[in-house]
Amino acid sequence: MSPSNSSDKRFVYREFGNDDSPALERPIAELPPQQQNLKVQASRKGRKGKTVTVISGFQSKPETLNDLVKQLKTQCGTGGTVKEMEIEIQGDHKQKIVEILTKLGYKAKISGG
């Protein structure tokens, strides 16, 4: 018997099948922009005192969010990212982002102080 390779995976017992099983992936329902209620708020929590505008409430596919964050970053002239179905834009751009999102057809409102 030859020595086992590191790529050779042998399991004696496995409860849920393969790790890449499509059954474990949750389908994301893509709603049109008119049916999405978004919240826009400025936050500093956990960011070492730096202000970030957080947009939450999306019910879209990650590809749609990536396109939207790219557009928002360009319009605001700053950086940003998508984290856990939320868009984070660097700086306090609440008013500008609400205007952009409403032009794109989203229902957006400013949340918090």
Q: What is the pLDDT of residues 81-112, one digit of tens each?
A: 999 999 999 999 999 999 999 999 999 999 98
Position 74 scores a pLDDT of 96
Position 19 scores a pLDDT of 58
Predicted structure pTM score = 0.73
Q: For residue 47, what pLDDT band results from cuts at 50, 70 and 90?
A: confident
d(CA 12, CA 51): 50
Per-residue pLDDT tens over the stretch 48-86: 889 999 999 999 898 999 999 999 999 999 999 999 999
- Exposure class string for 67-98: b at 16+ Cβ within 10 A, else e: ebbeebbeebeeebebeeeebbbbbebbebbb
Which has the closest alpha carbon to 99: 50, 67, 55, 65? 55
d(CA 56, CA 83): 10
Q: Which CATH class is domain 28-110?
A: alpha beta
Q: Where exactly are the structural domains of the chain?
A: 28-110
Strand partners, 54: 41, 88
Q: Does the structure show a pLDDT above 90 at 4? A: no
Query: CB within 8 A of 18, min separation 6: which ones?
Result: none
Half-sphere exposure of 86 (CA within 13 A, CB side): 14
